[in-house]
Every structure is written in structure tokens, then in C-alpha cells.
């Protein structure tokens, strides 16, 4: 299993929520997981803006 | 995973909600006895609860005088709930777009004390997948989201957590146990966060 998680933070840097994806290692290598980090960070920033 | 008798063994404060839940699921008028088939409460209890809910407008009696339907208050509540769902929609949309880019299960969780609660998810289409029901609580130390959460905890709370948390390994089949979190791993994770998403 690989999993990556990025927090959506409020203006004061406190964690509002966590955005995560996970996959079996058979389907997603660690390297492939890292390649999705920019998308994950973007989504977390969008999530933070909704609050 | 469905508990055949949600009424037995759960908190009495949830019983009224469970009655409404049974009725909503059935989608037709039900007698107190029919409602209780799912809940398994003592007979006098179910009759008292149902009568009280009717008195307060959460249930209304059918013409046959024996069975119940959702009352005007419950219908109004439902409209409010559906209306509030538009706030969920934007949140869910973020998740859907992330899923489209990643192609694997994506979820949103919220920290609550020393655990995390899953509040929304988009499941992967692959047959091999790990499914965790919404509302499930998982410990901070053994999940990716929990570790990210610890990395951004204020130093006082983190110190308290590390001193008191019970860091039991979580059995996960053939997967090796995840490395335990430490002050150092928390600090390095929070440094890895780009400044744009930090503010």
C-alpha cells in the first residue's frame, strides 16, 4: 500500500482537513505516488478555500 | 457490516434517530412493531418513543390509526438537510477532480482528538481496493493522513500526543507495519509542505 496525504490549512496554519489518496503498491509505485503530489497539493489548497 | 439490531447496545440518545432512520429507509407507513423489528427495543419503550415523536410532530399517524409516516417536522428537517448538501457538493467536487487525476481512491478526513474521521471519499474502479466506511475513526500514528496531521500539530499538542498516545501497530495483512512517527519525522514532513499551501 502507498498513501499520500496533504492537509488543508486555515489562515493560521491549523489543519482543517486532510486530503489523501491510497493504492496497492502493485498498482502504484512510490515514485508514481510522488508524481501525483502537485495535484494533491492543488486539491488541498482548493479545499482550504472552501472553508 | 449492517447491525441487524442497531437499537440494542447503542446509546439511548440515538434511539429516536434510529426510529426515524428505519421509517425513512422503509419509505412506507410502518407500525411501531414493524419499526421495532429492526431496533429490538422493549415493547413499552418503542411505543413510548413513537408516541412522543408523534406528539412533537416528527411522526404522523396514518388513517388506519396504527402506522406512522414522517411528520411535518421531519419533512422540514429533510429539506434543510438537502439544502445543506450544496456545501458538500463543492467539497466532493474537489475530491472528484483529484480522483480523475490520480485514478485511485481519494478521501477527505477531519482530525478529531487523537484520531481521524473519514467524511468523504471517491472509490477507485479497480476490484482490488481497501474500503474504509465513511465515519470510521482511525488512529493518527498509523495512517498517511494522521501523520500529515501530526506534522502540522502545534508543538505543545504534539508533545502531549507523543507522550500519551498508545502507538499500537495496526495489523494490515501482509503489509509491514508503517514506521512509527517521531518528533523528527513530523518536523521533516511539515517542512516538505510548500509555502503556498501553508498559508
Task: Kindly report, residue by residue over B62-99, the tens digit of the pLDDT.
Answer: 888 899 999 999 988 887 777 777 677 888 999 999 99
Q: Counting beta carbons within 10 angstroms of the beta carbon of residue B104, is it exposed (0 to 12), middle (13 to 18) or buried (19 or more)?
A: buried
Q: Do B102 and A44 touch (CB under 8 A)?
A: no
Looking at the partner chain, which of B91, B128, B152 has a beta carbon nearest the beta carbon of A50? B91
- Check residue B191 and give its pLDDT: 63
What value of ipTM does the predicted structure carry? 0.94
Task: Kindly report, residue by residue over A4-46, the tens digit of the pLDDT.
Answer: 999 999 888 889 899 999 999 999 999 999 999 999 999 999 9
Domain B12-74 is of which CATH architecture? Orthogonal Bundle (1.10)
Who's near A44: CB < 8 A, 6+ residues apart?
Answer: A6, A7, A8, A19, B197
Domain limits of chain B? Answer: 12-74, 103-198
Mean pLDDT of chain B: 82
pLDDT over 90 percentage in chain B: 39
Selected residue with higher pLDDT from B198 and B108? B108
- Identify the weakest region by mean pLDDT among B31-35, B113-117, B184-188: B184-188
| pTM greater than the 0.80 cutoff | no
The stretch B142-155 carries a mean pLDDT of: 91
Contacts of B102 in chain A (CB under 8 A): 21, 36, 39-40
Going by pLDDT thresholds of 50, 70 and 90, the confidence category of residue B175 is very low
Rounded to whole angstroms, the Cα distance separating B184 from A37 reads 21
Q: Do B199 and A4 touch (CB under 8 A)?
A: no
Rounded to whole angstroms, the Cα distance separating B151 from B153 reads 6
- Check residue B57 and give its pLDDT: 94
Looking at the partner chain, which of B101, B108, B144 has a beta carbon nearest the beta carbon of A22? B144
- Check residue B174 and give its pLDDT: 44
Name every residue in B having a CB less than 8 A away from some CB of A. 90-91, 94-95, 97-99, 101-102, 104-111, 116, 119, 124, 126, 128-130, 143-149, 151-154, 172, 175, 193-194, 196-199
The CATH number of domain B103-198 is 3.90.1150.10: no
Selected residue with higher pLDDT from B130 and B19? B19
Q: Counting beta carbons within 10 angstroms of the beta carbon of residue B79, is it exposed (0 to 12), middle (13 to 18) or buried (19 or more)?
A: exposed
Amino acid at each position: 500500500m502507498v498513501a499520500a496525504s496533504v492537509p488543508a490549512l486555515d489562515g493560521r496554519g491549523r489543519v482543517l482537513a486532510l486530503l489523501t489518496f491510497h493504492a496497492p503498491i502493485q498498482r502504484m509505485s512510490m515514485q508514481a505516488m510522488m508524481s501525483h503530489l502537485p495535484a494533491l497539493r492543488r486539491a488541498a489548497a482548493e479545499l482550504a478555500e472552501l472553508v | 457490516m449492517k447491525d441487524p439490531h442497531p437499537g440494542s447496545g447503542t446509546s439511548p440518545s440515538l434511539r429516536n434517530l434510529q426510529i426515524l432512520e428505519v421509517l425513512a429507509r422503509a419509505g412506507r407507513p410502518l407500525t411501531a412493531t414493524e419499526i421495532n423489528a429492526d431496533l429490538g427495543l422493549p415493547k413499552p419503550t418503542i411505543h413510548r418513543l413513537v408516541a412522543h415523536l408523534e406528539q412533537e410532530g416528527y411522526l404522523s399517524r396514518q388513517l388506519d390509526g396504527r402506522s406512522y409516516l414522517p411528520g411535518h417536522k421531519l419533512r422540514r428537517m429533510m429539506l434543510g438537510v438537502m439544502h445543506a448538501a450544496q456545501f458538500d457538493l463543492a467539497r466532493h467536487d474537489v475530491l472528484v477532480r483529484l480522483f480523475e487525476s490520480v485514478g485511485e481512491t481519494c478521501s477527505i478526513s477531519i482530525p478529531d482528538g487523537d484520531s481521524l474521521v473519514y467524511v468523504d471519499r471517491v472509490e477507485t474502479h479497480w476490484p482490488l481496493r481497501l474500503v474504509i466506511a465513511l465515519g470510521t475513526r482511525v488512529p493518527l500514528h498509523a495512517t498517511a493522513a494522521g501523520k500529515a496531521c501530526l506534522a502540522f500539530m502545534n508543538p505543545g499538542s504534539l508533545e502531549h500526543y507523543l507522550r500519551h498516545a498508545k502507538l499500537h501497530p495496526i495489523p494490515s495483512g501482509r503489509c509491514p507495519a508503517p514506521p512509527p512517527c517521531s518528533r523528527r519525522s513530523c518536523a521533516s514532513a511539515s517542512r516538505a509542505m510548500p509555502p503556498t499551501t501553508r498559508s
